[in-house]
Structure 1
């Protein structure tokens, strides 16, 4: 199959040409217009990858009654994500009681779907002071035995864990040695502690600026340490969690290859304003903004196609693609997707000139609309 006369956004350049697909993968990309499905006026980008999302459309990974409900949520959410161009995602939990955490890991272990390659545990090894909307009752000290059990139940699918490094720096080493990507977040770490965390193996920062010690010129803390040393830095480009001028600053002073766009989306995403839950916490959504009763931000109602549009408004198509597809793939070790290149999975989003989704391919097959 060939998609031709389409504007193709690769990590290296953008051009009008042809994408040839064979057996679910990109066989060849040409800068020539060839015989095939004519997509004149359209733009081809790789499928979006969201490595930090809690929910969408009335379903979530933070509260459920049993494993079967968790699995049902997971599969229903996959259908909703792809409508927004997301072809790979990591279901993300919050700080939960031990039995619920194990249930989530057990459920992920029963999923054999490479659009859902693993799970992101956002907690429970975080700092109470910067718990944000997470329930502090279930925060606990780093427990390598618990992590090993999570790995066993999930069949090795714990991709990343958000931790506060001040709780135990050696825990960062343990996670890295187990093949898990430690992500620094929900933390009160000072600059030195955060810098050591990256030295010890942390290779990510969870939603920079949010739920962490604020930057001060005499106490730069985890924010400057992340900007200086973190291999990958999550940002929520909804222009609520981070002002657009701050994102412009990051784009000017941090290599774009290190920035990972996430949604941090919650159950209310795509629904009307009202009352919802995040784990055990009641939240209110007004005007698309999710808050706890104390007025703290509680995730977002951002979708990845809107994140992409917001980033394009600040930069260009190529850099937006890096932040929404390739960088998140690399940040959790998914090397077979995230870019339009020969040999990669044929996960492709076709956009019109207004950046609205026209169709979505997963492994070369149309799944949306």
Structure 2
């Protein structure tokens, strides 16, 4: 594969017609070209919420499965990813942290996102109710110490006992506290943001619905620029009209596209497992036997294209939500954008937004 000579290169400030020069594993320069451009060059996707793919799951804490899942999503454009676990006993959380720490050091994954177990029973969705509990600072301290920088994010329902103290503790420790799977009031949500919560897990899903007299968490999260909101860009989790509204309301600098992908992503329909619960995948939707949605079966490539073609976003805005904003959320300063000196994580797209090639650290990925 060769870099296109004249494509629409999406940089942080503008779209440049031309090409990208590569120096080793870094972006050298963006060179302008004349004539009509063909296709797009985008920064590699950054997924902060992914549970697995290609039949492999991050949720079991197994390093080999984590490598397989990360490799699958890399082939579909995700050059940086968090490994998201679901609500689990503390022993599994601790062993997963230790098992994934070497993968972070190797660059296979960028860290761990614990989606739970400090979540609301009433909004647990596909989380195992048996694993839910109140936040425990001692647990958090052990996880953070064992991970030595591996633990990047934790989703918490702020109405649980001790949640605000846990959010403040995580914030001080440099771990992103995300609000999600919550039945919290508007006021409690604002208290959590004031305590240091800086992200919101798959907004609308796993949350008290909006009501104009009792607004709940959704408007508090979407309206506050201190909070980066996740959105799952598939027609299963969100009606495309809802997605369009939310992305325009949040705007690119504080909204991120995520997959919430489970192990069934890229696999045939059938029966799978998530956090000890049985999941049935049919017609692209993953659900528990009670009908609750259990993650998605999309890749970041799918989500990006849906945001543009179904929700009506411009390509640069969707790219910012899929790359630049999530990289900034994670505090990563060398990925997520096309600029000289950044790691050469690049995606080549056709004019009709079909992924043609993936480059990570200056090397083309075998797809």
Taking structure 1 as the reference length, the TM-score comes to: 0.94
Q: Deviations over 1:135-191 (max 9, x none)?
A: 011111111111111112222210000001112212111000010000000111100
Q: CA separation in 1, counterparts of 2:108 and 2:351?
A: 27
Q: Give the alignment of 1:1-369 within 5 angstroms.
A: 4-32=5-33, 41-63=38-60, 70-111=62-103, 112-167=105-160, 168-229=163-224, 230-313=226-309, 314-369=312-367
Structure 1 CA distance for aligned equivalents of residues 239 and 45 of structure 2: 22
Structure 2: 5+ residue stretches without partners: none
Equivalent pairs, count: 360
Per-residue CA deviation, residues 294-322 of structure 1 (Å, 9 max, x unaligned), is: 11111010111111111111111101101
Q: Deviations over 1:238-280 (max 9, x none)?
A: 0211111011112332222111000000011111111111111
Secondary structure of the residue aligned to 1:4 is: coil
Q: In 1, are the aligned partners of 2:180 and 2:206 still within 8 Å (CA)?
A: yes
Query: Is the contact made by 2:199 and 2:228 (CA closer than 8 Å) also made in structure 1?
Result: yes
TM-score, L = length of structure 2: 0.94
Contact in 2 for aligned 1:110/1:154 (Cα 8 Å): no
* 1:361 and 1:368 in contact (8 A); partners too: no
Report the Cα distance in structure 2 between the residues aligned to 1:155 and 1:327, rounded to whole angstroms. 24
CA contact (8 A) 2:18 2:37 kept: no
User: SS where residue 52 of structure 1 aligns?
Assistant: coil
Deviation at 1:48, TM superposition (A): 0.8
Q: Distance in 1 between matches of 2:247 and 2:67?
A: 35
User: Contact conserved, 1:3 with 1:20, CA < 8 A, in 2?
Assistant: no
Gaps of 5+ in 1: 34-38
Aligned-residue CA RMSD (Å): 1.7
DSSP 3-state at the match of 2:6: strand
Runs of 4+ off more than 3 Å = none
